[in-house]
Chain A
C-alpha cells in the first residue's frame, strides 16, 4: 500500500443496494408490480429513454430485438450494470426493482417496428458498396475498421429499422444528433474549412475534418464561422441505383455488433 491514509478512510466506501440476480426469468408479473415498475422507470430511466422507449439520448427500447441484451437475464444485468463507455449508467437498483422495471420495459416491444429486414438485397454486394464503391467506410466504422467522422455502424441492423436507414441515406440532414453538427469557418486569408464539431467554447472551435485531422480555431481570429445542424454526410438520393440501395440496406441490416462488444 502506498500512502499513509488514516485507518478508517482506507477501505473504499461507496454504499450499494445492488443485489445479485437470483432468477433467470422475471419472477414478477402482477398489475401491482407493473405499476411499481412504471413508476421506477419514470424516475430512473425516462429522461434518457422516454416514457414510450422511443425518444431521448438513450437507446431506442421500443424494438423487437435489442442490441445488447434480449433474454430476461441479459436485460437484468444490463440494467443493473449499465453499458461501460456510454451514457447508460449502472444504477445498481435492488433486484426486485429491476425486475419490475423490466416488466414495464417489455411492453415497449409491442409497439415496436419490425426489426431491420435484410431482404430484398444481397448483403455481400452491399458490403462491397459500403467499403469500396460508395466508400461509406471513409466515415463509418464497422467493427474496428473504418472512419471516425460519422457514427459507428457496427450495430446498424440492431439499432434502426430498414426505413430509418433508408431515410438516413437519402435525407441525411433530417435528423442530425448534437454530436455531429457541422462547423464551417473562413480564416482571415480566405481559406474555408469544414468538419464535425468536436468542441466549442466562447473563444475556440474544434473541427474534425474529412481527413480526420482535428483543427483548432480561435473564433476571434476567424473571418467568419457557422455551426449548423446539417450532416457532413452526402445524400445518396439518386446516386445509388434502386438495386444497390437494396444491397446496401441488406448489408446494414445484417450488422449486429461483434461478440466482444467492440466498437459501440
Chain B
C-alpha cells in the first residue's frame, strides 16, 4: 500500500509551494529595465553601469546619508561590485569569501568561505571583483583558478570546476558573466607567463562547454603573430567582466597585455589577441571578430577596460556601437556587429603614437619603446584609464570616464621564464614622474570622442563610476572621498570621506521603495540613501 505521510506531518510545505523569486536569463537581458536590482557586474549586459532609479537627484543629493556599513578585517584591496536582488546584497570579500547582506540593515545572512592554498600567485593583490547570478545560484571565479556555484539562499557550495592549476600562475579574479545556461570566466595571471583563456561552464553541472584561448595555438588564426614558442606563455589574461549583445549573441571580451610586459624581444609580432577586444559567440565560444588596440604592446596596456555597448545614428546610419577608453590613451568607436573601426582619439596626454591610421592601427612614434636606461612615455603604466568602470547614460548620451594624466619611465631588462614566477622583462619606475600625476572624471560624446566636461581630481584614482537616471554620476578617489557629480555639468554636489581608498565601482539599487547607492572602500561596503 502506498501511503502518503504528507498530510500526517504538520507544517510540511513542499519547496515548490511558494517558489522564491528566481533570476531568469530574460531578467538578465532586461536588467536595466528593473533598476531595483543590480543583476550583474555592470548592472546589465550593455556594460553601461547605468541605474534607471530617479529618486536621488541633483537637488536632493546633498541630503544623502550613510544608511549602514559592513566591515571586514582586510589587508587586500576591496574591489567588489555587489549584486542586489530583492533586498539582499551579494558581495565577494577577498581573498575567497562570499557574503549575503540584508540590504536594509547590512546584517549578514550567510557566508561562504573558500579555503585557499597559502601560496597563491597574483600580481596585484589577492582580489576579487564580484559574482554572477542566475536562477538560485551565484557564480564566482576563485584565486585558486576554479569556477564555483553557490546556492543563493544559503551560500552552500553546489559545484566547483577546476579551470587550471593555479600554481603555474593562473587565478580567477573577475565577476563571471552568465548568459543563458552558461557561466563564463577567464584566467588572470598575465605577469606569470600563462597562456590566457576564456571558459564557459554549464550553470547546472559545472561541466565545461567550451574554452577559447586568447593566444591562438598552432594552425589557428593569429598564431603567426607570436615569434617562436612565445605563444605558450604570452599572457593575454582575462580579468574584467565582458559585455554582451543578446541580439547578436556576441560577448565582448577585453584581453590583457602580452608577456613579458616590457620586453617584447622574445615575442616579435602583433601578439594576437593580447590588448584586443574579441567578440565571441556565446553558445560556442567561436570568434566572430577581433580588434587589436595595441599591437605588440611593450607598456603593459591591457585592453581590460569595459566595452560599453550603445546604439545610435552614426554618419546618417543607425548602428550598433561599442565604445571603449583604452589604457593606451586613445578612445575607440567600433561597429559591434562587424568589428569595423569607426574612429579613435586621444583622451589623455600620450606621446607613444603619432596617431591612429584608417584601419585603427597606431602609428608608433620612434624612440618610445622601453630602454635599458629607462624611457619616459605618456600615459602612465596604469594607463589613461584602467579596469575601473566607466558609465554611459542613455539620458545625456555621454560616457563618463575616470582618467589619469602622467607618464612612467619604462625600463627594459632580461626576461627568463620560470613557471609560477613573474615574467615581466623588467619594470617601470614611477618615483620621479608620479609627482606630476593628476586625475579627473571626464564626460565625453562617445560618437566624436569630444570632451564635454571635466571634474578634476588631485590624484589619479582606481575608482569606477555609476550614472543614474536622476541625473547624477557617482565617483570615488584614492584618498577616500565618495562624491556625486551633476551628470550634465560635472559640478560636485555632495561628498563624504569614507576613510580609505576606493578601488571599486559603485552601484545603485532599490530596497523598500527607496533608492540606494553602494560602494566598497577600505575593508567596508558603504550604503547610502536619502533620509
Contact = CB atoms under 8 A, between A and B. Distances in A.
Given A135-B12, A199-B109, A264 B156 contact: yes
B115 A2 contact: no
A139 B15 CA distance: 7
Interface string B106-128: 01111011111111111111100
A92 B109 contact: no
B6 A135 contact: yes
A4 B110 contact: no
Given A18-B118, A204-B102, A264-B157, A138 B15 contact: yes
A3 B382 contact: yes
Contacts of A18: 117-119
B386 A3 contact: yes
Interface string A204-241: 10101011111010000000000000000010100111
Contact of B11 (A86, A137, A210): A210
Nearest to B428: A4
Interface in B56-100: 87-88
Nearest to A10: B123
A199 B102 contact: yes
Interface string A174-211: 00000000000000000000000011010110101011
A138 B12 CA distance: 8
Nearest to B257: A1
B116 A90 contact: yes
A147 B14 CA distance: 8
B30 to A, nearest CB: 24
Given A198-B109, A216-B105, A152 B156 contact: yes
Interface string B453-464: 000000000100
Given A133-B4, A148-B156, A261-B160, A212 B115 contact: no
B486 interface: no
B362 interface: no
Interface in A5-47: 5, 7, 10-12, 14-16, 18
A10 B422 contact: yes
A199 B107 contact: yes
B372 interface: no
Given A129-B5, A263-B156, A1 B191 contact: yes
Given A210-B11, A212-B15, A134 B6 contact: yes
A14 B151 CA distance: 30
A262 B156 CA distance: 9
Interface in B327-367: none
B275 interface: no
Given A1-B302, A138-B13, A85 B114 contact: yes
Nearest to B380: A4
Given A2-B386, A10-B124, A201-B107, A90 B115 contact: yes
Contact of A2 (B88, B151, B158, B387): B387
A213 B113 contact: no
Interface string B1-44: 01111101111111101101000000000000000000000000
A92 B117 contact: yes
A50 interface: no
B480 to A, nearest CB: 17
B371 interface: no
B154 A84 contact: no
B374 interface: no
Given A12-B122, A134-B6, A263-B158, A216 B117 contact: no
The CB with the most chain A CB atoms within 10 A, among B118, B159, B422, B428, is that of B118
A35 B105 CA distance: 50
The CB with the most chain A CB atoms within 10 A, among B12, B121, B122, B427, is that of B12
A54 interface: no
Interface in B139-169: 148, 151, 153-154, 156-160
B261 interface: yes
A89 B190 CA distance: 29
A152 B204 CA distance: 18
Contacts of B116: 90
B157 A84 contact: yes
A134 B382 contact: no
Given A2-B304, A16-B119, A261-B160, A11 B422 contact: yes
Given A7-B427, A84-B115, A88-B115, A1 B5 contact: no
A15 B105 contact: no
Contacts of B257: 1
Contact of B381 (A4, A12, A206, A216): A4
A134 B5 contact: yes
A82 interface: yes
A119 interface: no
B430 interface: yes
Contacts of B380: 4
Nearest to B87: A216
B376 interface: no
A234 B10 contact: yes
A234 B11 contact: yes
A18 B159 CA distance: 26
Given A214-B153, A262-B158, A134 B9 contact: yes
A71 B13 CA distance: 41
A81 interface: yes
Given A1-B302, A212-B153, A84 B160 contact: yes
Interface in B183-197: 190-191
B300 interface: yes
6 contacts: A1-B300, A212-B153, A214-B109, A216-B102, A260-B160, A262-B158
Interface of A: 1-5, 7, 10-12, 14-16, 18, 81-90, 92, 129, 132-135, 137-139, 141, 144, 146-148, 152, 198-199, 201, 203-204, 206, 208, 210-214, 216, 234, 236, 239-241, 260-264
Counting from the closest, the 8 A-B pairs by CB-CB distance are A211-B18, A85-B157, A82-B115, A16-B118, A134-B5, A210-B13, A147-B15, A234-B9
Given A5-B124, A148-B154, A152-B156, 19 more contacts: A2-B304, A4-B408, A11-B422, A132-B4, A135-B14, A138-B15, A147-B15, A148-B15, A148-B156, A201-B105, A203-B105, A206-B102, A210-B11, A211-B13, A214-B88, A234-B10, A260-B160, A262-B159, A263-B156
